[in-house]
A and B are shown apart, each in its own frame.
Chain A
Amino acid sequence: MNTALRHSRERGNPGIKSNPWIPASAGMTSQARSRLVVVDIIAYVVLAFSIGLATAVSLAGVVLLLAQEAQAAEFVPMQPAQAQQGTLLLKAKGETLAVPAVATDAEIRVSGIVARAVVKQTYRNPYDAWFEGIYVFPLPENAAVDHLRMKIGERVIEGDIKERQAARAQYEQAKSSGQRAALVEQERPNMFTTSVANIPPHGEITVEIEYQQTLRFDAQGYSLRFPMVVGPRYIPGTPTEGRGHGWAPNTDQVPDAAHITPPVLHPDQHAPSNPVRLKVVLDAGVPLARVDSTYHPITQRETEGGGRIVELAAGEVPANKDFELKWTPVASHAPSAALFTEQSGDKHYALLMVMPPAKEVAAARLPREVIFVIDTSGSMSGSSIAQAKEALALAVSRLDERDSFNVIEFNSYAKALYPDARPASVAHRNNAVSWVRRLQAQGGTEMALALNLALNGRENPGRVRQVIFLTDGAVGNEDGLFKLIQDKLGDSRLFTVGIGSAPNSHFMMKAAQSGRGTFIYIGKIEEVKEKMGALFTKLESPVLKGIEIAWPDGSHAETWPQRVPDLYLGEPIVVSAALDKLEGDLRITGLRGEVHERPWQATLPLDEARTGRGMGVLWARAKIASLVDSLRDGAKEDEVREAVVNVALVHHLVSKYTSLIAVDKTPVRPVDATLKSGAVPTNLPEGWEFEKVFGELPQGATDSRWNLLVGFLALLLAGGLFRTSRRTPIAFGRG
């Protein structure tokens, strides 16, 4: 500004010479003049400093008092008295990672809508000491684990099913007396722990686990998921007594936290561990249009019967993300109904699948209120949050002007974009999308806060209220959350969108079930459009509800689940039943339509049933799931435990209350040799950020001093330059 002023004067008034200071300075002593120079420079600096300071203070004021970014969003304070104190806890340093390595080899045989898998875990001990290996690993959320075999060289020891405590006691006994033993316990329906005692120095023990599951399928086709890693879970609550091999202490909300938090390798410091080999033998029973793996490159070859054999192209992959195989039958062979039965003693176990036809005519629809909930916790950081944001932005922009919506984000705290749902006008939608784009993933996963904000327990006549919940489900307090959803649902519906490479499938499925909605997975950004499109089609189509299944008289059917959940477009009815006889016709009825309900019904002759293997196990698994669910409806734990144990022991199933155990009779470890123990560390799921999950030390410095110094020096320089530029001509003038 000084310069500009000066220039204009140069041009405008070239003749002005009179300056009061020039004659004065001309008469000065040289000492006085140099002092003047110094004063001048100081003055420059002081002025510049004051300008700088004034600017800074006023800027700070402006920033504080006006918007730093035009923020149309209003934040809703969360409910009071919910200050959170969850724990993202770490084990102190110095913990050795010297534990046996585990290699997994899985072979899954698919026949129709059922898969049976053999998972072989080989525990190798590369050390000179005797070791116990503890491995926490995931399985599909509906896996019925019914066999355990421990292999030592050529010998095979078949596992027994026992009540959990009894199995644990037997294992501890074997462990301390030097016998080799293997124990499989269920931590969550989709999370298990294998403990293997007395692995000899430089030796190995192989543990084989078998499970069976019904596959998930809808109008788009079938999918088989094989999870490989349990992502680190957020553990809410206050720490309580008791620690285990996990990185988190037990808390009041997650009493078994220490069991479900195996150590996690930092991907920057360790190569991926726990290699997995996988083979899927696919006998779909119908001609297949296509078979694809979503996240892993595969090789596939056709078998004689028209099936496929699928293997990982890489041969071996680190256990760091879910494997998903999808296949679609040729259009004309898409199944509409299937009934598989298996006889065991005088009981017939049946698995029934019926695909209701898609509704052709667009039904009149009610206005919708859609509440989006996005998980912005640390575990979402990385590729997950990118997928979630993309999915949410897409979903918001798809809303109709008649609909209303709101967005809630949560991590250690929860906050809503608007105090109440707003009409999905273009302005609101745009505002929401830009709000979502700015979200950052950090902190804890206090899901209860978000659910409390999203669900109000109210009835909403005249409109459909849908909550869409985008999360990786990386929490340890699932049961508490399911109860919360159930209690506060009202007539809302909750849909889960499992995000990322290793979502918690148990959470996705049960949260959706408790919320009377459905669930999908998005594991990579390329899937967002297709998956969200499919979800929206379901959301916009009326459900099939009030489904009743009438078995023929005299069959004395015991059906699980007892109440068939509402079905969304393209989803099948799947139930298991135990029957006395297989005769007569089965009738299924239901209601469809949102504004005007229309009845739907189907009939199926029982004698057309095909025989299938393991139907009894699937029935028992469905029964156990329903029994455990009843705990949330207030059933007594003792009664549920007894009922579950009865079913599980008969069908040889691992459950919350029963475990499989195999013990080698002969002790091998010398009495004087000590046994070391360690939890097998797991990989961080692909795309996750370690520091965001386990926290990082805060960055505690600003550049302010640097700025001040640099600024000061620059001002000094400016002062000097101005000074000399003024002095030079004066010197000339005098000369």
Chain B
Amino acid sequence: MKTLTSREDWPLGVECAWPATMHAAPAQAIVRDRTDPLAHRWQLWLASIALAFGVWQFGQGSYIQAKAWLAQVLIKQAWARTLDGKAQARPWPWADTWPVARITVPDRGIVRYVLAGANGRSIAFGPGHVFGTPLPGDAGNSVIGAHRDTHFAFLRELHPGEEIVVQKSAATIRRYRVEDSEIVDKRETRVMAQHGGEPRLTLITCYPFDALRAGGPLRYVVSAKAI
């Protein structure tokens, strides 16, 4: 039995504190019976609810992040199969989306696999290509959307002049240069407009980047032009 006084003891303390609280409980219980059992019980309930809620919320938050991260690994494998010539290689058997391109920002070491469709279901796993716009790498304005707190968090750092490389197939690689970025209302579909056949890339995510909650009306739009 020793007293925790020195700094070196802390790691042990952290480890051991856990069972300690449980063992401590019966002792408390007896004492509590004599004092204010009802208030104590409420406190415990409240604590448990807060714990459960906290675990749930924390789990939810981490789950979103974990899913975004883990899925890119599987999508990477599917992309490899796509490059081998398989059409619509699904990252997991029941997926309703598949990689259509790989975008990289070489200077920042960023690699993202773009999925077909920019609906909520697919962009949980990766940046999504907006249906109805040309595929990334093709002629026309190709629009890609992703979450600001996962795959497109890097947009915040992206400056005009930086290079984005799009791989469309084993043989097709197209380079783009970031022209500008702007903040628009979500109804401003003009950023998705086509300007003839000039190959462009429009990357869209939510704004502001630091907002805690989803669902705001603003979008951060980075546009790039093929070099």
A→B interface (CB under 8 Å): 2-3, 5-6, 9-10, 13-14, 16-17, 19-24, 27-29, 32, 35-36, 39-40, 42-44, 46-49, 51-53, 55-57, 59-61, 63-65, 67-69, 71, 75, 77-93, 234, 238-241, 243, 249, 378, 411-413, 440, 442-444, 694-718, 721-722, 724-726, 728-730, 732-733
Size range of the chain B interface in the assembly? 35 or more
The answer to whether B55 and A240 touch across the interface, beta carbons within 8 angstroms, is no
B10 CB → nearest A CB, Å: 7
Q: Which residue of chain B is the closest to A61 with respect to CB atoms?
A: B70
- Name the one of B29, B48, B192 contacting A14, with C-beta atoms under 8 angstroms: B29
Chain A contacts for B20, CB-based, 8 A: 21, 40
- Indicate if the CB atoms of B28 and A729 lie closer than 8 Å: yes
Chain A binder among B104-112, B133-141, B158-166, B173-181: B133-141
Chain B, 60-104, CB within 8 A of any chain A CB: 60-67, 70-71, 74, 85-88, 90, 92, 94, 96, 100
Besides the known contacts A83-B100, A698-B119, 8 further A-B residue pairs in the complex with CB atoms under 8 A apart: A52-B55, A84-B135, A89-B194, A92-B195, A238-B140, A697-B219, A726-B25, A726-B28
The listed residue (B133, B190, B206) touching A92 by CB distance below 8 A is B190
- With A and B bound together, what is the CA distance between A53 and B219 in angstroms? 30
Contact partner of B58 (CB less than 8 A), chosen from A14, A49, A700, A728, is: A49
Contact A22 B27 (CB under 8 A): yes
Residue contacts A-B, CB under 8 angstroms, 15 given: A3-B47, A14-B29, A32-B3, A83-B135, A243-B196, A695-B131, A695-B189, A696-B187, A697-B189, A700-B146, A700-B206, A702-B214, A722-B51, A726-B28, A729-B40
B29, A10: Cβ atoms under 8 Å? yes
A47 close to B18 (CB less than 8 A): yes
A443 touches B66 (CB 8 A): no
Encode contact with A along B166-202: 1 for CB under 8 Å, 0 otherwise. Answer: 0000000000000000001011111111111100000
Contacts of B139 in A (CB 8 A): 85, 238-239
B4 and A729 contacting across the interface, CB-CB below 8 Å: no
- Bound-state Cα–Cα, A27 to B130, Å: 67
A711 touches B60 (CB 8 A): yes
Question: Shortest beta-carbon distance, A105 to chain B, in Å?
Answer: 34
A103 to B191, CA, bound (A): 33
Contact partner, A711, options B46, B58, B96, B194, Cβ 8 Å: B58
Q: 8 tightest A-B contacts by CB?
A: A698-B145, A711-B58, A443-B131, A707-B61, A714-B54, A711-B57, A88-B132, A721-B47
Contact present for B51 and A718 (CB under 8 Å)? yes
Contact: B186 with A56, CB < 8 Å? no
State the CA gap A699–B27 with chains docked (Å).
53
CB-CB < 8 A to A20: which residues of B?
1, 23
With known contacts A21-B24, A729-B27, A700–B61 Cβ distance under 8 A = no
Q: How far is the CA of A175 from the CA of B63 in the complex (A)?
A: 65
A44 and B70 CA atoms in complex are apart in Å by 27
A71: chain B residues within 8 A (beta carbon) = 94
Question: In the complex, which residues of chain B have a beta carbon less than 8 angstroms from the beta carbon of A733?
Answer: 27, 31
Q: State which of B48, B54, B195, B196 has its C-beta within 8 Å of the C-beta of A2.
A: B48
Contacts of B192 in A (CB 8 A): 90, 695, 697
Question: When the two chains form their complex, are residues A721 and B189 in contact, meaning their CB atoms are under 8 A apart?
Answer: no
Q: How far is the CA of A551 from the CA of B203 in the complex (A)?
A: 67
- Tell me how far the C-beta of A63 lies from the nearest C-beta in chain B, rounded to whole angstroms: 7
Q: List chain A residues, Cβ under 8 A from B119.
A: 440, 442, 698
Residue in chain A with minimal CB distance to B55? A52
Q: Which residues of B contact A17 (CB under 8 A)?
A: 26-27, 30
On whether the beta carbons of B74 and A442 are closer than 8 Å, the reply is no
Contacts of A53 in B (CB 8 A): 58-59, 62, 66
Is A21 a contact partner of B23 (Cβ separation < 8 A)? yes
The residue in chain A whose Cβ has the minimal distance to the Cβ of B32 is: A729
Binary interface profile of B, 117-151, with partner A (CB < 8 Å = 1, else 0)? 11110011000101111110011100101111110
> CA–CA, A553 to B22, complex, Å?
108
| Docked pose: A48 CA to B2 CA in angstroms | 27
Are A64 and B140 in contact, with the CB atoms below 8 A?
no
